[in-house]
Copies of this chain bind each other. A is one copy, B any other.
Protein backbone atom coordinates (compact mmCIF):
# COMPACT_ATOMS: atom_id res chain seq x y z
CA UNK A 1 0.00 0.00 0.00
CA UNK A 2 1.40 3.40 -0.97
CA UNK A 3 1.94 5.87 1.83
CA UNK A 4 1.10 9.49 1.02
CA UNK A 5 2.60 12.11 3.28
CA UNK A 6 0.27 15.01 4.14
CA UNK A 7 1.89 18.27 5.16
CA UNK A 8 -0.62 20.58 6.84
CA UNK A 9 0.23 24.15 5.88
CA UNK A 10 -2.80 25.94 7.33
CA UNK A 11 -1.00 27.42 10.36
CA UNK A 12 1.39 29.08 7.88
CA UNK A 13 -0.20 29.52 4.45
CA UNK A 14 -3.72 29.76 5.83
CA UNK A 15 -3.09 32.15 8.67
CA UNK A 16 -0.73 34.43 6.77
CA UNK A 17 -3.48 35.14 4.26
CA UNK A 18 -5.96 36.57 6.73
CA UNK A 19 -5.60 39.80 8.63
CA UNK A 20 -6.58 38.57 12.07
CA UNK A 21 -3.94 37.01 14.28
CA UNK A 22 -4.91 33.64 15.70
CA UNK A 23 -3.99 33.54 19.40
CA UNK A 24 -0.99 31.38 20.26
CA UNK A 25 -3.06 29.04 22.43
CA UNK A 26 -5.51 28.39 19.59
CA UNK A 27 -2.63 27.64 17.22
CA UNK A 28 -1.22 25.18 19.73
CA UNK A 29 -4.60 23.51 20.15
CA UNK A 30 -4.95 23.22 16.35
CA UNK A 31 -1.46 21.76 15.91
CA UNK A 32 -1.87 19.32 18.80
CA UNK A 33 -5.29 18.15 17.59
CA UNK A 34 -4.15 17.62 14.03
CA UNK A 35 -1.07 15.74 15.14
CA UNK A 36 -3.30 13.61 17.39
CA UNK A 37 -5.45 12.80 14.33
CA UNK A 38 -2.31 11.41 12.70
CA UNK A 39 -1.16 14.26 10.46
CA UNK A 40 2.58 13.55 10.17
CA UNK A 41 3.88 17.04 9.30
CA UNK A 42 2.75 20.58 10.05
CA UNK A 43 4.18 23.83 8.73
CA UNK A 44 3.71 25.84 11.90
CA UNK A 45 4.71 29.28 10.67
CA UNK A 46 7.27 31.33 8.81
CA UNK A 47 10.25 33.52 9.61
CA UNK A 48 9.10 36.45 7.55
CA UNK A 49 9.70 39.61 9.65
CA UNK A 50 6.79 40.26 12.06
CA UNK A 51 6.54 43.80 10.70
CA UNK A 52 5.38 42.25 7.41
CA UNK A 53 3.41 39.32 8.80
CA UNK A 54 2.46 39.84 12.46
CA UNK A 55 0.36 36.66 12.17
CA UNK A 56 3.62 34.66 12.18
CA UNK A 57 5.37 36.42 15.10
CA UNK A 58 5.09 33.39 17.39
CA UNK A 59 6.70 30.90 15.01
CA UNK A 60 9.68 30.14 17.28
CA UNK A 61 7.36 29.37 20.20
CA UNK A 62 5.27 27.12 17.97
CA UNK A 63 8.33 25.18 16.85
CA UNK A 64 9.29 24.56 20.48
CA UNK A 65 5.74 23.44 21.26
CA UNK A 66 5.35 21.23 18.18
CA UNK A 67 8.70 19.53 18.74
CA UNK A 68 7.26 18.21 21.98
CA UNK A 69 4.68 16.20 20.01
CA UNK A 70 6.00 12.74 19.33
CA UNK A 71 6.22 11.67 15.70
CA UNK A 72 5.38 15.09 14.27
CA UNK A 73 7.67 16.63 11.66
CA UNK A 74 7.90 20.37 12.34
CA UNK A 75 8.26 22.53 9.23
CA UNK A 76 8.57 26.26 8.64
CA UNK A 77 8.80 28.60 5.70
CA UNK A 78 11.82 30.83 5.38
CA UNK A 79 12.13 33.77 2.99
CA UNK A 80 15.94 34.10 3.07
CA UNK A 81 19.23 33.31 4.86
CA UNK A 82 18.27 35.35 7.90
CA UNK A 83 15.05 33.35 8.16
CA UNK A 84 17.09 30.17 7.90
CA UNK A 85 19.30 31.26 10.78
CA UNK A 86 16.24 31.93 12.93
CA UNK A 87 14.65 28.63 11.91
CA UNK A 88 17.79 26.70 12.83
CA UNK A 89 18.10 28.55 16.14
CA UNK A 90 14.48 27.66 16.89
CA UNK A 91 15.07 24.00 16.04
CA UNK A 92 12.93 23.60 12.92
CA UNK A 93 13.15 20.10 11.43
CA UNK A 94 12.25 21.13 7.89
CA UNK A 95 12.71 24.48 6.16
CA UNK A 96 11.24 25.45 2.86
CA UNK A 97 12.07 28.57 0.86
CA UNK A 98 9.79 29.76 -1.92
CA UNK A 99 11.64 30.38 -5.18
CA UNK A 100 9.32 32.09 -7.59
CA UNK A 101 9.56 30.84 -11.16
CA UNK A 102 8.13 34.19 -12.30
CA UNK A 103 11.00 36.64 -11.94
CA UNK A 104 8.57 39.55 -11.76
CA UNK A 105 6.76 37.88 -8.86
CA UNK A 106 10.10 37.14 -7.18
CA UNK A 107 11.20 40.77 -7.45
CA UNK A 108 7.87 41.99 -6.11
CA UNK A 109 7.68 39.39 -3.34
CA UNK A 110 11.26 39.26 -2.00
CA UNK A 111 13.06 41.86 -4.14
CA UNK A 112 15.45 39.28 -5.61
CA UNK A 113 15.93 38.16 -9.20
CA UNK A 114 16.58 34.52 -10.08
CA UNK A 115 20.37 34.79 -9.81
CA UNK A 116 20.09 36.38 -6.37
CA UNK A 117 17.67 33.66 -5.27
CA UNK A 118 20.03 30.89 -6.37
CA UNK A 119 22.82 32.61 -4.43
CA UNK A 120 20.55 32.79 -1.37
CA UNK A 121 19.68 29.09 -1.70
CA UNK A 122 23.39 28.26 -1.90
CA UNK A 123 24.15 30.30 1.23
CA UNK A 124 21.34 28.57 3.12
CA UNK A 125 22.49 25.15 1.94
CA UNK A 126 25.98 25.92 3.24
CA UNK A 127 24.56 27.02 6.58
CA UNK A 128 22.52 23.81 6.75
CA UNK A 129 25.53 21.68 5.86
CA UNK A 130 27.50 23.29 8.71
CA UNK A 131 24.94 22.08 11.29
CA UNK A 132 25.57 18.91 13.29
CA UNK A 133 23.88 15.95 11.60
CA UNK A 134 21.47 15.31 14.48
CA UNK A 135 19.96 18.82 14.35
CA UNK A 136 20.40 19.55 10.65
CA UNK A 137 17.04 20.53 9.14
CA UNK A 138 15.73 19.13 5.88
CA UNK A 139 16.06 21.90 3.30
CA UNK A 140 13.56 22.10 0.48
CA UNK A 141 13.01 24.69 -2.25
CA UNK A 142 9.40 25.36 -3.25
CA UNK A 143 9.19 26.31 -6.91
CA UNK A 144 6.49 28.97 -6.53
CA UNK A 145 4.24 30.19 -9.38
CA UNK A 146 5.46 27.12 -11.29
CA UNK A 147 2.15 26.80 -13.14
CA UNK A 148 1.52 30.45 -13.92
CA UNK A 149 1.73 33.89 -12.39
CA UNK A 150 -0.91 36.54 -11.76
CA UNK A 151 1.54 39.20 -12.97
CA UNK A 152 3.37 37.47 -15.85
CA UNK A 153 0.68 35.02 -16.92
CA UNK A 154 1.97 31.72 -18.33
CA UNK A 155 5.35 30.60 -16.96
CA UNK A 156 7.82 28.97 -19.33
CA UNK A 157 8.20 25.29 -18.44
CA UNK A 158 11.76 25.11 -19.74
CA UNK A 159 12.68 27.76 -17.19
CA UNK A 160 11.02 25.83 -14.37
CA UNK A 161 13.02 22.73 -15.29
CA UNK A 162 16.24 24.77 -15.49
CA UNK A 163 15.64 26.58 -12.18
CA UNK A 164 14.74 23.31 -10.43
CA UNK A 165 18.13 21.99 -11.48
CA UNK A 166 19.79 25.21 -10.32
CA UNK A 167 18.19 24.88 -6.88
CA UNK A 168 19.43 21.31 -6.51
CA UNK A 169 22.88 22.26 -7.77
CA UNK A 170 22.94 25.06 -5.18
CA UNK A 171 22.39 22.50 -2.43
CA UNK A 172 18.66 22.00 -1.83
CA UNK A 173 17.86 18.43 -0.75
CA UNK A 174 14.70 18.46 -2.84
CA UNK A 175 12.33 20.79 -4.67
CA UNK A 176 8.54 20.96 -4.65
CA UNK A 177 6.21 22.39 -7.28
CA UNK A 178 3.84 25.09 -6.05
CA UNK A 179 0.69 26.25 -7.77
CA UNK A 180 0.78 29.51 -5.82
CA UNK A 181 -1.82 31.12 -8.05
CA UNK A 182 -4.28 28.29 -8.61
CA UNK A 183 -3.55 28.25 -12.35
CA UNK A 184 -2.59 24.58 -12.71
CA UNK A 185 -4.48 21.92 -14.61
CA UNK A 186 -3.94 18.15 -14.45
CA UNK A 187 -2.27 17.84 -17.85
CA UNK A 188 0.21 20.55 -16.92
CA UNK A 189 0.86 18.96 -13.51
CA UNK A 190 1.66 15.63 -15.13
CA UNK A 191 3.88 17.17 -17.77
CA UNK A 192 5.84 19.39 -15.40
CA UNK A 193 6.29 16.74 -12.69
CA UNK A 194 7.56 14.34 -15.33
CA UNK A 195 9.96 16.89 -16.83
CA UNK A 196 11.39 18.07 -13.51
CA UNK A 197 11.82 14.51 -12.21
CA UNK A 198 13.59 13.58 -15.44
CA UNK A 199 15.94 16.54 -15.09
CA UNK A 200 16.90 16.37 -11.40
CA UNK A 201 16.14 12.75 -10.46
CA UNK A 202 12.80 11.23 -9.48
CA UNK A 203 13.66 11.24 -5.75
CA UNK A 204 14.34 14.99 -5.70
CA UNK A 205 10.78 16.07 -6.51
CA UNK A 206 8.21 14.57 -4.16
CA UNK A 207 5.94 17.44 -3.16
CA UNK A 208 3.07 19.37 -4.70
CA UNK A 209 1.68 22.50 -3.08
CA UNK A 210 -1.73 23.13 -4.63
CA UNK A 211 -4.45 25.71 -4.32
CA UNK A 212 -8.09 25.15 -5.15
CA UNK A 213 -8.64 28.58 -6.66
CA UNK A 214 -10.57 27.23 -9.66
CA UNK A 215 -11.92 24.05 -8.06
CA UNK A 216 -9.38 21.81 -9.79
CA UNK A 217 -7.07 21.25 -6.80
CA UNK A 218 -7.87 17.61 -6.07
CA UNK A 219 -7.79 16.71 -9.76
CA UNK A 220 -4.31 18.25 -9.84
CA UNK A 221 -3.38 16.21 -6.76
CA UNK A 222 -4.57 13.05 -8.52
CA UNK A 223 -2.49 13.94 -11.57
CA UNK A 224 0.54 14.35 -9.31
CA UNK A 225 -0.04 11.01 -7.58
CA UNK A 226 -0.13 9.33 -10.98
CA UNK A 227 3.33 10.77 -11.68
CA UNK A 228 4.83 9.59 -8.41
CA UNK A 229 4.21 12.55 -6.10
CA UNK A 230 4.16 11.29 -2.50
CA UNK A 231 3.82 14.48 -0.42
CA UNK A 232 0.88 16.86 -0.66
CA UNK A 233 0.53 20.19 1.12
CA UNK A 234 -2.99 21.10 2.19
CA UNK A 235 -4.81 23.27 4.64
CA UNK A 236 -7.55 22.36 7.07
CA UNK A 237 -10.74 24.10 5.98
CA UNK A 238 -8.95 25.33 2.87
CA UNK A 239 -7.58 28.37 4.64
CA UNK A 240 -4.77 29.97 2.76
CA UNK A 241 -3.40 31.90 -0.11
CA UNK A 242 -0.59 34.20 -1.03
CA UNK A 243 -0.96 37.85 0.00
CA UNK A 244 1.20 38.85 -2.98
CA UNK A 245 -0.83 36.90 -5.55
CA UNK A 246 -4.34 38.38 -5.73
CA UNK A 247 -7.13 35.87 -6.12
CA UNK A 248 -4.86 33.02 -5.12
CA UNK A 249 -6.90 32.02 -2.11
CA UNK A 250 -7.34 28.60 -0.68
CA UNK A 251 -5.01 25.65 -0.40
CA UNK A 252 -6.57 22.32 -1.21
CA UNK A 253 -8.66 21.17 1.72
CA UNK A 254 -7.02 18.63 4.04
CA UNK A 255 -10.34 16.99 4.92
CA UNK A 256 -11.38 16.36 1.30
CA UNK A 257 -7.85 15.34 0.31
CA UNK A 258 -7.62 12.74 3.07
CA UNK A 259 -11.08 11.45 2.16
CA UNK A 260 -10.01 11.03 -1.46
CA UNK A 261 -6.72 9.33 -0.61
CA UNK A 262 -8.15 6.95 1.97
CA UNK A 263 -11.10 6.09 -0.29
CA UNK A 264 -8.63 5.26 -3.06
CA UNK A 265 -6.72 2.92 -0.77
CA UNK A 266 -3.71 5.12 -0.09
CA UNK A 267 -2.40 5.11 3.44
CA UNK A 268 -2.14 8.53 5.12
CA UNK A 269 -1.95 7.46 8.75
CA UNK A 270 -4.71 9.99 9.46
CA UNK A 271 -7.92 9.18 11.30
CA UNK A 272 -10.47 11.02 9.19
CA UNK A 273 -13.21 11.10 11.85
CA UNK A 274 -10.77 12.73 14.26
CA UNK A 275 -9.51 15.12 11.61
CA UNK A 276 -13.03 16.38 10.87
CA UNK A 277 -13.39 17.41 14.51
CA UNK A 278 -10.27 19.62 14.42
CA UNK A 279 -12.08 22.12 12.20
CA UNK A 280 -14.09 23.44 15.13
CA UNK A 281 -10.90 24.79 16.71
CA UNK A 282 -10.39 27.12 13.74
CA UNK A 283 -14.06 28.04 13.60
CA UNK A 284 -14.04 29.00 17.28
CA UNK A 285 -10.77 30.92 17.16
CA UNK A 286 -11.65 32.81 13.97
CA UNK A 287 -15.42 33.30 14.02
CA UNK A 288 -16.85 34.22 10.65
CA UNK A 289 -13.76 33.16 8.72
CA UNK A 290 -14.85 31.21 5.62
CA UNK A 291 -13.91 27.53 5.76
CA UNK A 292 -13.96 25.36 2.67
CA UNK A 293 -14.37 21.67 2.04
CA UNK A 294 -17.29 19.36 1.38
CA UNK A 295 -16.57 16.22 3.40
CA UNK A 296 -17.08 18.04 6.74
CA UNK A 297 -20.68 18.86 5.74
CA UNK A 298 -21.48 15.64 3.89
CA UNK A 299 -19.87 13.30 6.39
CA UNK A 300 -18.30 10.00 5.46
CA UNK A 301 -20.12 7.59 3.13
CA UNK A 302 -22.20 4.92 4.81
CA UNK A 303 -20.02 1.88 5.35
CA UNK A 304 -16.84 3.84 4.58
CA UNK A 305 -13.98 1.68 5.78
CA UNK A 306 -10.75 3.52 6.38
CA UNK A 307 -7.42 1.93 5.78
CA UNK A 308 -5.92 1.03 9.15
CA UNK A 309 -3.52 3.77 10.21
Contacts and interface: CB of A to CB of B under 8 A. Distances in A.
Interface of A: 148-154, 181-183, 185-188, 212-216, 218-219, 221-223, 247, 250, 253, 256, 259-260, 263-265, 293-295, 298-299, 301-303
A34 to B, nearest CB: 18
A216 B263 CA distance: 11
A264 B185 contact: yes
Contacts of A186: 222, 260, 264
A140 to B, nearest CB: 25
Nearest to A295: B214
Contacts of A218: 215-216, 218-219
Contacts of A187: 263-265
B181 A301 contact: yes
Nearest to A222: B219
Most buried by B among A151, A154, A298: A298
A150 B302 contact: yes
Q: How many copies does the complex hold?
A: 2
Given A264-B187, A265-B187, A302 B215 contact: no
A103 to B, nearest CB: 15
18 contacts: A148-B303, A150-B301, A150-B302, A153-B301, A153-B302, A182-B294, A185-B264, A186-B264, A187-B263, A188-B263, A213-B298, A214-B259, A215-B253, A215-B293, A218-B219, A219-B219, A219-B221, A222-B222
A-B pairs, 8 with minimum CB distance: A153-B303, A215-B256, A185-B263, A215-B294, A187-B264, A153-B302, A183-B301, A218-B219
Contacts of A188: 263-264
Contacts of A215: 218, 253, 256, 259-260, 293-295
A253 B187 CA distance: 19
Given A218-B219, A263-B188, A301-B153, A294 B212 contact: yes
B260 A148 contact: no
